[in-house]
Amino acid sequence: MIRLKAVALLALATVSPLAIAAAAAPDTVPGNVRQTKPATYSFTVGDAKVTALSDGTVPLDLHQILRGAPTQTIDGLLARSFLSYHTEASINAYLIDFNGRRILVDVGAGELFGPGNGGRLLDALAAVGAAPETITDILITHVHTDHSGGLTKAGKIVFPRATVYAGGADVRFFSDVTNAAKSGLEKHFWTETEKTLTPYVTAGRVKSIDANGEILPGIRAELHPGHTPGTAFYTLTSKGQSLVFVGDLIHSAAVQFPRPDVTITFDVRQDEARAVRQAAFKRFARDRALIAAPHLPFPGVGHIAADGSGYRWYPIEQTDREEKGNRLKL
């Protein structure tokens, strides 16, 4: 989850705008431009074609939202990556064309973060010629607005033919507003679920996942409660190749790869989220797994390797050709 307004307001209340500008703009860091076209990037995993789709980016104040390490430590790790605590997070979604199905993994924030903050998924889908009515299945990693917000637009279902898969614990937790008071979390999680997921529940189009296993041919779901009660990883496997969609396992590469014990305020159960991240990084590094992470810089696809007491992120190489290994004639 990325929650924009609270973070921005908190930042303004505690740090002067000038201090933010100075900290956020070291002279080697390029400035911002609103992209005129949505970003997409396609690659293959066995017989599947996977397309990363950018829903946009949102500003995050890492001083306000990271937990478990002193501010100085966080600033030191950020400086090592040429970043400040005022950072920008990608919102990535993924399209899988495989076995005659057209599957989305997460759907971005939709309209719910306001203009200019996410909500570009439909433009990205149009750019690759994928009409919303051709989507057969949607795999929601967890029921937070930046992953399920795009399910509806102006209160209407955007993907009329799709079956929506989500962890059953999330569907139940975020559909019952009495859990707001019980958990101490802000009520907006529930009002947003009402706008986005509930129309699909009412239409009988949601399949709750309550056990690990294959949910579609070549796609396996694994439940990892922590970030939310029903957080799920989805693993696509074809011809010996795999890609794991990990949801909000990580928000800040600069901080949480070297320090996987650092959590974020959006982790509903902090201790479980920390344990899930530590175990998952260890496993992915050991298995040399390819992973897709919604909030790492677009396309958010790469490998994790052990590095000292922590880990490092290796983004995939970008290519623009079908053949492998042919040499450039010089």
Q: Radius of gyration over alpha carbons of the chain, in Å?
A: 19
Taking the least distance from each CB to Zn ion, the nearer of 1 and 103 is 1
Site string for Zn ion, 196-235 (x = CB under 5 A): ----------------------------------------
Which of 48/144 has CB closer to Zn ion? 144
Q: Identify the bridge partners of residue 157 per DSSP, sorted by sequence position.
A: 152
Looking at the Cβ atoms of 44 and 270, the one nearer to Zn ion is 270
- Shortest Cβ 288–Zn ion spacing (Å): 25
Q: Is 307 left (phi over 0), alpha (psi -120 to 50) or beta?
A: beta
Q: Is the peptide bond before 299 cis (omega within 30 degrees of 0)?
A: yes
Query: Nearest approach, Cβ of 72 to Zn ion (angstroms)?
Result: 26
10 Å Cβ neighbour count for 127? 16
Stretch of 10-18, 67-75, 98-106, 244-252 contacting Zn ion, by CB under 5 A: 244-252
Q: How far is the CB of 318 from Zn ion (least distance, A)?
A: 24
User: In the stretch 273-312, what mask flags binding to Zn ion with x, by CB under 5 A?
Assistant: ----------------------------------------
Least distance to Zn ion, CB of residue 227, Å? 8
Cβ neighbours for 165, distance < 8 A, ≥ 6 positions apart: 137, 138, 139, 140, 206, 207, 209, 215, 221, 232
Min. distance of Cβ 92 from Zn ion in angstroms? 10
Q: How far is CA 3 from CA 8, 21, 117, 274, 302, in A?
A: 9, 21, 11, 20, 25
Q: Which stretch binds Zn ion (CB under 5 A): 15-23, 126-134, 243-251, 304-312?
A: 243-251
Report CA 133 to chain centroid distance, whole Å: 23
Single out the residue of 229, 248, 260, 293 in contact with Zn ion (rule: CB under 5 A): 248
- Residue (86 or 142) nearer to Zn ion, CB: 142
Name the residue nearer to Zn ion (CB basis): 170 or 248.
248
Footprint on residues 137-156 left by Zn ion (CB under 5 A): 146
Rounded least distance, CB 86 to Zn ion, Å: 18
* Residue 170 makes contact with Zn ion by CB under 5 A: no
**Contact predicate 112/151, CB 8 Å:** no
> Cβ contacts of residue 284 below 8 Å, gap of 6+?
244, 291, 303, 304
Q: Are 221 and 233 in contact (CB under 8 A)?
A: yes
Alpha carbon distance 86, 78 (integer Å): 10
CB nearer Zn ion, residue 171 or residue 268: 268
Q: Report the distance separating Cα 69 and Cα 31, nearest Å.
A: 28
Nearer to Zn ion among residue 4 and residue 304 (C-beta)? 4
Rounded least distance, CB 295 to Zn ion, Å:
6
Answer yes or no whether residue 267 interacts with Zn ion by CB under 5 A: no
Q: Which is nearer to Zn ion, 90 or 198 (CB)?
A: 90
- Judged by beta carbon, residue 101 or residue 269, the one nearer Zn ion is 269
For Zn ion, which stretch binds (CB under 5 A), given 179-187, 211-219, 241-249, 277-285? 241-249
**φ, ψ for residue 177, nearest 5 deg:** -65, -20
Size of the site for Zn ion (CB under 5 A): 3
Question: Do residues 140 and 174 make contact, with C-beta atoms less than 8 angstroms apart?
Answer: no
Cα–Cα distance for residue pair 113/8, rounded to 1 Å: 12
Number of helical H runs and strand E runs in the chain: 12, 18
Where do contacts with Zn ion occur on this chain (CB under 5 A)? 1, 146, 248
